[in-house]
Amino acid sequence: MKAIMVNVLLGLAMTLSGKSDVVSGEPTVSVEKWNSTEPFILDGILDEDFWQSAANLSDFKQVSPFLGENPTEETEVLLSYDDDFLYIGARLYHSNPDEIFASVLERDQDLNADDFFEVIIDSYNDKTNALGFRTNMLGTRVDYEMSNNGVTINQAWNTFWDVRTTRTDAGWNAEFKIPLSSLRYVPARENTMGFKFIRRIKSKSEMLLFPMKNQTLTGLEYHLQNTTEIALKSLGKKRPLFITPYSAGSITQTASLNRDSTAYISETQVYQGKNYLRQDWMDKLLSNNGFDIKYRLNNSHTLDLTVNTDFAQAEADDRIVNLTRYSVALPEKRAFFLENADLLSATMFHHVFFHSRNIGIESDQQVPLVAGARLTGTTGGFQYGLLNIQSKELPASEIPARNFGVARIKRNLGDDDSYIGGIFTSVNSRDSSPSNRLISADGIYRITDQLVTHYFLSSTSDSGLNGNDRYAFGVSISRFPSNGYEFYYHYREYQEDFSPGLGFLSRPDTRQVIVRNGYKRTFRSHPWLSRVIFGQYATQFWISSTGMREYSSMNLYLAVYPVNGARIVVLAPIYTEDNLFEPWDFSDRTTIPAGHYRMNQFEVQFESGKKERYQYSGWTQLSDYYGGKRFTLCTVFNYVLNQHLSFELSADYNRLRFPSSYSSEGNRIEIKSIYYGKLNLTFTSKLSLKTLLQYDKNLESLAANVRLRYNPTEGIDLYIVYNQDLNTNPGSFEPVKPWIQSQTLIVKYSHTFLF
């Protein structure tokens, strides 16, 4: 502890005091509303007369490879608006237009492998939350919402907007038409919004930003201190109503053990019912149809309703190799819970106090969600989210009906991302099942532009634990500038039986300290190097209920970033100690004895540059492992052939060698590996086919997810999804497994109506 305190005091002594200087400020830009009778034609050509009087923004700077330097290519942004739409035009010059790269056609897919242009709008000008709109030269649309200056980005957010692009002799153009009804603001005589623009030039590994008022901020490309303020006059009220009914059907075949566990039997189910009604066909009809409603009460408040919430997710979960004895949180993929997720989020200190996958999934089963409501908005500096969902009981599985409630509120402090907030969650049921409550306060206080504190104080009450409160708290201070000394110091504690019913804790009943000190050097001009980071990291865990030390780890690190966008990281030496207070059943045949383990590790990570059609990355680790040895090699290779075809191959290979005394079968070797293959076929911007194959060597299982998506126009989606789980070596199990463990065909159609 003395060494930790010395590191903390040393870091604070080296911290710069006061706010950082603004590199290039600018006053608020006033834009006249476009009142011309000239029709607006969305074509990406930018030849309408009104563009001549639009706001003109062009002073872009490099974020990478050379922070703050002038770009090698010019960018010109034009902005105007009328009573209904915001218009943004971009002239993206390139000295060699043949080098402009665009490969993605499907909406809301990752454009990081392409040249792209991005618009970010802080519509409340609160310097914390914003909406993003991105496109490439093919006119592909990507939209998202972000909070906490880009710390949280919700890619699932969708709204109505349009864009057109054209290739020119001097580069390419993009023309955006964004309905004001898709933005959030308080109607007024004059609304000041923050705007920023990002451009990526793939062939030169350049990321450009306008404006760049402050070069020292962490994550400066998304930090909303770097915006230009634009005044828009006489914005009226917009109250759109979105109704999205869906219909889904499925055929499922599953092999399961018989009552005597002597053989597998196959069962086929057409249209799964949820026991809403006694009559079978009526129940199946009701169970596979539902709808969501979104209504803008005004430009600042939105009401969402869901009836028979859609569970027919099109994407399968990625299988993972977990070599720890702690659980891993899987991401949410259901559309209703992804919408406005940032307004209900309380993610901090490696925990999540509202993890929506706890709703509707219990004992590895899907639990029907009858109906729910969500109200979100911003008013008077406050941001809030309210959610209530009712589930249906599953008597056969002894799962009761439950009611889930979440309330989240945040109050902005000042003109940066400082805030104080709170969250309340509850899980209740009508029978004797335990109820659970969480109440928590959290916040961020930015002392200077680089010096930031995070804190939280929480309490849970669970009727299954005699209703006694259990507490958790934490505080951290960090400094991560774009150049210079950086650090992160963290303390948090979860008391014994602290249990947020709708949250996720990877290591409950623990106290943790983290101490990280480092130095970052960013180069203004270098023949091959963009930046270098080096330093030390240390963490330690104690069991809260006993005070006993459980786990500690410390290491040095070096990260090198060449100008081509590559990344090389070396973690060495890594020294770890772990106390196992009871035996760990690592697998069916291997048990690691209780004891005190000291381990040395070496790790290297690598990512290739971003200029080519292909990208590859990987990391490897050589280490001691609880009395044995571990070798890990993870690799990913992506290749984009053209805008219609791309694929990805990846592997997570882990070879573990234990003492023979650990194994009941005398087998000292454990291989835990998963291999992945992804193939993306995009026929047009409206029709795509994706295939995901996952081979689990340990389970001798091959899982396939094939998804056909037809998106003829905004708001209409047809999915045809086929999932299959194969046993690749069925004879190695007793009783013998069938070749096909399960297979499902899902057809889902949804149509959003805008009123």
pLDDT digits (tens, 9 = 90+) for 557-574: 999 999 998 999 999 999
* Averaged pLDDT, 135-153: 88
Q: Considering only the C-alpha atoms of the chain, give the largest distance between any 2 of them, rounded to a whole number of Å.
A: 85
Which contiguous run of DSSP H or E holds residue 337? helix 335-338
pLDDT on residue 313: 60
Q: State the pLDDT confidence band at 234, using cuts at 50, 70 and 90.
A: confident
Q: What is the mean pLDDT of residues 686-710?
A: 93
- Across the range 604-619, mean pLDDT stands at 92
Region 18-28: mean pLDDT is 47
pLDDT tens for each residue of 614-662:
999 999 999 999 999 999 999 999 999 989 999 999 999 999 999 989 9
**pLDDT of amino acid 140:** 94
Name the amino acid, one letter, at 620.
Answer: T
Q: Give 207 or 5, the one with higher predicted confidence.
A: 207
Please return the burial class of 742, using the count of CB atoms within 10 Å of its CB with bins 0-12, 13-18 and 19+. middle
Phi, psi of 450 (to 5 degrees): -110, -25
Q: What is the pLDDT of residue 73?
A: 95
- Give the mean pLDDT of 175-200: 90
Confidence class of residue 450 from pLDDT cuts 50, 70 and 90? Answer: confident
Q: What was the pLDDT predicted at 198?
A: 96
pLDDT digits (tens, 9 = 90+) for 470-514: 999 999 999 998 889 999 999 999 999 999 999 999 999 999 999
Contact 553, 516 (CB under 8 A): no
Q: Average per-residue pLDDT in the chain?
A: 88
Integer Cα distance of 229 and 582 in angstroms = 59
Do 513 and 533 form a contact (C-beta atoms < 8 A)? Answer: no
pLDDT digits (tens, 9 = 90+) for 258-314: 888 888 998 998 888 888 888 888 888 888 899 999 998 887 889 999 999 877 566
Q: What token pair was written down for 217? A: 């901020």
| pLDDT value, residue 7 | 43
Q: How does DSSP assign 553-620, residue by residue?
A: EEEEEEEEEETTS-EEEEEEEEEEEEEESS-EE-SSSBEEPSEEEEEEEEEEEEE--SSSSEEEEEEE
Which of 76, 156, 67 minimizes the C-alpha distance to 117?
76
Region of 287 on the Ramachandran plot (φ > 0 left; ψ -120 to 50 alpha; else beta): alpha
Residue 690 tokens, joined: 């994706």
* pLDDT tier for residue 23 given thresholds of 50, 70 and 90: very low
The predicted pLDDT at position 531 comes to: 93
b/e per residue 219-246 (b: at least 16 CB within 10 A): ebbbbbbbbbbbebeebeebeeebebeb
> 12-38 burial string, b = 16+ CB within 10 Å, else e?
eeebeeebbebeeeeeeeebeebeeee
Residue 17 has pLDDT above 60, yes or no: no
Q: 10 falls in which pLDDT band (50, 70, 90)?
A: very low
Place 12 in a pLDDT band, splitting at 50, 70 and 90.
very low
Q: Kind and range of the H or E element at 621?
A: strand 614-625
Q: Is the pLDDT of residue 161 over 80?
A: yes
Q: How far is CA 137 from CA 90, 94, 107, 112, 746, in A?
A: 11, 12, 13, 13, 33
Looking at residue 745, its pLDDT comes to 93
Determine which of 15-29, 357-371, 436-450 has the lowest per-residue pLDDT on average: 15-29
Higher pLDDT, 388 or 685: 388
Question: Is pLDDT above 50 for 552?
Answer: yes
Residue with tokens 């930790």: 4
**What 3-state class would DSSP assign to 40?**
coil
Per-residue pLDDT reduced to its tens digit, 712-732: 988 899 999 999 999 998 888
- DSSP β-ladder status, 228-233 and 142-147: unpaired
Q: Amino acid identity of 354?
A: F
pLDDT at 334: 81
Q: Which pLDDT score, from 0 to 100, does residue 239 have?
A: 81
Report helix, strand or coil for 29. strand
**Residue 51 confidence (pLDDT):** 86
Per-residue pLDDT at 314:
62
Q: Are strands 61-64 and 289-298 parallel, antiparallel or unpaired?
A: unpaired
pLDDT score for 714:
81
Question: Is the predicted pLDDT of residue 408 greater than 50, yes or no?
Answer: yes
Mean pLDDT, residues 131-143: 95
Query: Cβ(9)–Cβ(17) under 8 Å?
Result: no
Contact yes or no for 406/424 (Cβ under 8 A): yes
Q: Could you tell me the two tokens for 39? A: 């029709």
Q: Say whether pLDDT at 422 is over 90.
A: yes
